[in-house]
Structure 1
């Protein structure tokens, strides 16, 4: 399998000097094991179990701390890992606020970070601070593009948005306003709700009163099911769109037949089997799905585990080059690792093909997502 073959090749590389081979590579992993984002963080943590045990003769240690879905805790966790374990790389945090918060310590300690949060502002523009930050997720505009292209193609003129009342929902409010205007679609309602809410009836009634042609739900996992179910309960029969986060967790189980036909941006990490055979990420994504579901059960695949899994693919590709710059645990190795990640091209992972550069720390582009929908309880690509 692709990742296994890659890691085998890494193990077979000969080190140029014994001092480089003698040191362990320490990888910090700071994710939300508890708190509101725990479902996502624990999926990401599951994705890290497939990392290489060693690279080019150097043992790899994975050091996990829970940031409890809290940005202050994320910073404290990173500082602890740097100061007590001298980490060479940080994977995480889970949330957007946490990922923004660790930029300062990343710059202070000159430690590269592979964030698992989606917002492009984390890595763009690549300046003196963001040069240390990378990510393995698509941007909000990548997700929105196939959705709004379908809306425009099918004659949607007026759209209602309902999303989380946090940075995730705010980012979608911004990108929806921009892309809807460019697409000739009027955004006539924009409602918010908390991830922990048990009803959104008031917001749904406002949306129904606005009489939109379509509704976009900017939410993830099980909480994304709530607006859909209450919209259908109140008689809304129009098209519903979701974000990539809807392909995660219990959304399918909770919505059942009511969720049939919802359109989403689809990642190969979730729907690779329905992707065309010539898709460049299909083979790597199918490998991820087979390995992940072999360990965590049928249907358990998800984009969040895929993001963490891909971060370790990047490490496996980049570390051999970084070892030429210095031994693990040194500033030279960390800078070498940062430079090596920034130089990666054509690296296939579960979520797409990664191409980084001095001005591009996103890695993925629009090709990493296609339009998908739920059909008979499964996420499939729309052809």
Structure 2
């Protein structure tokens, strides 16, 4: 009888052990359709380049389309939490990231965000951001404007999360740099023309205009400005850092200045730059598959998620197995403790109170010259 009980107990133990997955399960919510699809599609293409394993664990990616909609992003995130994924990746845009974050916290599941949503850090925050924070990029733009002799700036930006973040951040950056914001005009990501806003901006005769949009959609307001006679300098944000911007905007984009992640100009980085090797690794693989000059900052965030996981998963595996709450907690702890994680966009140092992690190594200033992005040397 005792032998039968022991056998039954052993069978139950083996069954329980089998319930712990022998794979790393990752849920991905991307904007593959809708106005933010130009951000989500290169992310999906970059995920296709991931290896089959991380730290010896088989990787299972479940990719869902949130259609550039926060309702879709929440629905996807709830499915992932119900399925007890180990990590949530996404979404492609700021609204989607912000919509997923409370679901990730409720499910005590790490979210690696593909858009620069602000995060508070602290014990209640399970979201870690892979793009550079807006405040870092905004300060870089404002300093460059001041160095270029700009004093009066007009703001022309999206009326959603990304645009609002830039409006708030640039107000602070402008004050520090001695700039005056002389007009503030907003438009929706789905707008195809902004005639009224463009005329108002041109009418105040600013020294320069800051356009805030993302992907190819950031070209439309600049085309409208140029077609309505504005000939002054135009600055864009890191959300616009894509070959699609130049493809759609054509000659209207010449001379545009913007901040970007180093990956966009990997070949132009100094040999001593710690980011160069990782950035070139991504660019070489992506452009071998998709052709020359097809890289985007957005797609590179998927590569950076891989680099982060390759650093923290081995640490978490020392504490627990995938598929368990203990493993998800160990992943979060490792993210907050591992230092100098080199990715294609910079170097990350997350802490318990900082889930943004970037410093100035994540910023380069660029100008569009001859239809290409060129690194701008600092003003002397």
Q: What TM-score results when the alignment is normalised by the length of structure 1?
A: 0.90
Q: Tell me how far apart the structure 1 counterparts of residues 174 and 311 of structure 2 sit (CA, whole Å).
A: 39
- Pairing 1:72–2:71 present: yes
Equivalent position of 1:10 in the other structure: none
1:343 to 337, 340, 343: 337
Equivalent position of 2:114 in the other structure: 116
- Pairing 1:213–2:207 present: yes
Task: Please say which of residues 259-268 and 222-231 is displaced more in the overlay.
Answer: 222-231
Q: Tell me how far apart the structure 1 counterparts of residues 55 and 192 of structure 2 sit (CA, whole Å).
A: 51
Q: Tell me how far apart the structure 1 counterparts of residues 204 and 144 of structure 2 sit (CA, whole Å).
A: 21
Query: Relative to 1, partners in 2 of residues 1:32 and 1:127: Cα closer, same or farther, differing over 3 Å?
Result: same
Equivalent position of 1:129 in the other structure: 124
Q: Tell me how far apart the structure 1 counterparts of residues 321 and 21 of structure 2 sit (CA, whole Å).
A: 8
Equivalent position of 1:279 in the other structure: 273
Q: Tell me how far apart the structure 2 counterparts of residues 102 and 257 of structure 1 sit (CA, whole Å).
A: 38
- Quick check: 1:30–1:66 contact (8 Å CA) kept in 2? yes
Equivalent position of 1:327 in the other structure: 321
Equivalent position of 2:369 in the other structure: 375
- Quick check: 1:52–1:316 contact (8 Å CA) kept in 2? no
Q: Tell me how far apart the structure 1 counterparts of residues 260 and 329 of structure 2 sit (CA, whole Å).
A: 34
Query: Relative to 1, partners in 2 of residues 1:20 and 1:359: Cα closer, same or farther, differing over 3 Å?
Result: farther
Equivalent position of 2:7 in the other structure: none
| Deviation at residue 41 of structure 1 after TM alignment | 1.2
Equivalent position of 1:165 in the other structure: 159
| Deviation at residue 266 of structure 1 after TM alignment | 2.4
| Deviation at residue 303 of structure 1 after TM alignment | 0.7
- Quick check: 1:25–1:58 contact (8 Å CA) kept in 2? yes
Q: Aligned pair count?
A: 361
Q: Tell me how far apart the structure 1 counterparts of residues 64 and 183 of structure 2 sit (CA, whole Å).
A: 40
Instruction: Write out aligned runs for 1:124-203 (5 A).
Output: 124=120, 126-130=121-125, 132-203=126-197
Q: Tell me how far apart the structure 2 counterparts of residues 239 and 107 of structure 1 sit (CA, whole Å).
A: 43
The gaps in structure 1 that reach 5 residues or longer are 1-17
Task: Please say which of residues 207-216 and 250-259 is displaced more in the overlay.
Answer: 250-259
- Quick check: 2:117–2:133 contact (8 Å CA) kept in 1? yes
Query: Relative to 1, partners in 2 of residues 1:20 and 1:268: Cα closer, same or farther, differing over 3 Å?
Result: farther
Equivalent position of 1:102 in the other structure: 100
- Quick check: 1:104–1:129 contact (8 Å CA) kept in 2? no
**Residue deviations 1:89-115, cap 9 Å, x none?**
111122222222222222222111101
- Pairing 1:62–2:57 present: no
Q: Tell me how far apart the structure 2 counterparts of residues 119 and 75 of structure 1 sit (CA, whole Å).
A: 16
| Deviation at residue 220 of structure 1 after TM alignment | 1.6
Give the aligned CA root-mean-square deviation in angstroms: 1.8
- Quick check: 1:21–1:58 contact (8 Å CA) kept in 2? no
**Residue deviations 1:4-25, cap 9 Å, x none?**
xxxxxxxxxxxxxx98997111
Kindly name which structure, 1 or 2, has the bigger radius of gyration based on alpha carbons. Answer: 2
Q: Tell me how far apart the structure 2 counterparts of residues 103 and 264 of structure 1 sit (CA, whole Å).
A: 28
Q: Tell me how far apart the structure 2 counterparts of residues 96 and 182 of structure 1 sit (CA, whole Å).
A: 25
Q: Tell me how far apart the structure 2 counterparts of residues 23 and 138 of structure 1 sit (CA, whole Å).
A: 33
Other structure's SS at 1:250 match: helix
Task: Please say which of residues 104-113 and 186-195 is displaced more in the overlay.
Answer: 104-113
Equivalent position of 1:227 in the other structure: 221
Q: Tell me how far apart the structure 2 counterparts of residues 56 and 236 of structure 1 sit (CA, whole Å).
A: 54
Equivalent position of 2:80 in the other structure: 81
